[in-house]
Amino acid sequence: MYKLAKLTILGGILCPLVVASAIASTAQAQPSQSPLAEPNVQLKVQRTSGSCPQTVGLWWLTLPYEGGAEHTVIADTRAFADTTKLVPSKNQHFVEFVSPLRNNYATCVGQTQGQEYPFYSVQFKNKQAYFRVDLQKIPVPDTLISYKTVTTSRPYVRWAIAD
């Protein structure tokens, strides 16, 4: 009986330690990633000539609400350009950004085309990339670009849609 009591106490001490170490090693084996470390949408580039990136990544987030949704999109132009400028416009349904291409893509002529998301497009020509959000291509009358800027040298657009 005395030996059984010692084994029970020893098991009560060792068992939680073994379980804790197994959980810790499992947690360390899984890489930690932030939810949107990489763009969640890829637009394929159809090259006409020159050296072009194969895709353009977008971070696209949607916040639905009753009767519509607010969308935020950030284009990953840093993959092929170092700077981006907003083309000034008062149009609330269309926005354009221009990014001078890096030397390795300066010869690129092409565009994203025939995509699942025709209201987002990138055109490569004249040593520049033109990222556009064109809400006129959405067959819903109530769309509006509510915010547009350049953040961390990337185009940033917030727009809304209502039923």
Question: Residue 11's pLDDT is what?
Answer: 45
The answer to whether residue 100 is domain-embedded is yes
The answer to whether residue 29 is domain-embedded is no
pLDDT above 70: percentage of residues in the chain? 77
pLDDT over 60 at 25, yes or no: no
pLDDT over 50 at 26, yes or no: no
Residue 106 sits in which domain range? 41-162
The answer to whether residue 5 is domain-embedded is no
Q: What are the residues whose beta carbons fall under 8 Å from the beta carbon of 155, sequence distance 6 or more?
A: 73, 74, 75, 77, 84, 86, 95, 97, 131, 148
Question: What does the mean pLDDT of the chain come to?
Answer: 83
Hunting for tokens 């890096």 — which residue is that? 102
Could you tell me the strand order of the sheet in which 55-65 lies? Answer: 85-86, 94-100, 128-134, 120-125, 109-112, 41-49, 55-65, 68-75, 154-162, 142-151
Query: Rounded mean pLDDT of 20-37?
Result: 47
Gap between the Cα atoms of 53 and 62, Å rounded: 26
What are 97-116's pLDDT values in tens digits? 999 999 999 999 999 976 68
What are 61-90's pLDDT values in tens digits? 999 999 999 999 999 999 999 999 999 999
Question: Residue 14's pLDDT is what?
Answer: 40
Query: Rounded mean pLDDT of 110-129?
Result: 91
Domain count, the chain: 1
pLDDT over 50 at 22, yes or no: no
Count CA atoms closer than 13 A to 31's CA, side-chain side: 4
The answer to whether residue 49 is domain-embedded is yes
* Geometric angle at alpha carbon 92, from 90 and 96, rounded to 5°: 75
Question: Residue 116's pLDDT is what?
Answer: 85
